[in-house]
Amino acid sequence: MEHKLASLLLCCLITISHLSTCQADPEQLQDFCVANNPTTDTTINGFFCKPASSVISDDFFFAGLAKEGNTDNIFGSSIAAGNVLSFPGLNTLGLAINRVDIAPGGVNPLHSHPRSSELVFVLKGNLLVGFISTANKFYSKVLGTGETFVIPKGLLHFQYNVGNVSATAITLFNSQLPGVVSAPLGLFGVEPAIPMEVLTKTFQVNSSIISVLESNFVN
């Protein structure tokens, strides 16, 4: 009997352990954990907490999305990021928010967020929003003011202004620090550079074309 009880207990412990590892995020053990110096502290899936006695209301406030961004650049777009690095009150909450401003004909170029899905909400203008699945299928929609499109976690996607006036979108994430991998910068602006042989073979073009692309993105 004791042997059976021990075996049952062991099975229960293994099951509980397995279920806990399947959860996306652990349950919070406190009301909040405002990040303490998030740009400098060592982190393991989160930042050290600011002492609760020194937390103030402004720790839960962020005005970084209030102003339109400067779109005078090669992409014609501007991103204002409201993640834990700029908004410490988001620490451990699994949330982030960005503002995306795009000039007519501008683009928030192909990129991915390795740690988050994304919800795009258009505040003004018209944006073509699309992503590519792992089956190499392209999904897209032209969004108008007040309309929304969801982009699954980790998939390559973009926003492109198809209108003749500037467009603004708010993007929401289920991660305090979604991360971003830019396709053009990651391929042609990374340091050290990806070997030329890899890029020419990958894109089936000669080195002169790769050199032109790199010249657009290398500082």
Residue 48 is predicted with a pLDDT of 87
Q: Are 67 and 101 in contact, with CB atoms under 8 Å apart?
A: no
Residue 31 is predicted with a pLDDT of 86
Identity of residue 168: T
201's tokens: 């073979």
- At 92-131, the pLDDT tens digits run 999 999 999 999 999 999 999 999 999 999 999 999 999 9
Judged by DSSP in three states, 35 sits in: strand
Cα 167 from Cα 192, distance rounded (Å): 35
Domains observed in the chain: 69-83+94-175 (2.60.120.10), 189-217 (no CATH)
Q: Are 112 and 181 in contact, with CB atoms under 8 Å apart?
A: yes
- At 67-81, the pLDDT tens digits run 999 999 999 999 999
Residue 26: DSSP 8-state: P
Q: Are 151 and 131 in contact, with CB atoms under 8 Å apart?
A: yes
Q: Supply the DSSP string of 1-23, one letter for each residue.
A: -HHHHHHHHHHHHHHHHHHHHH-
Residue 42 is predicted with a pLDDT of 64
Residue 46 is predicted with a pLDDT of 76
pLDDT below 70 — which residues of the chain?
Answer: 1-27, 41-44, 219
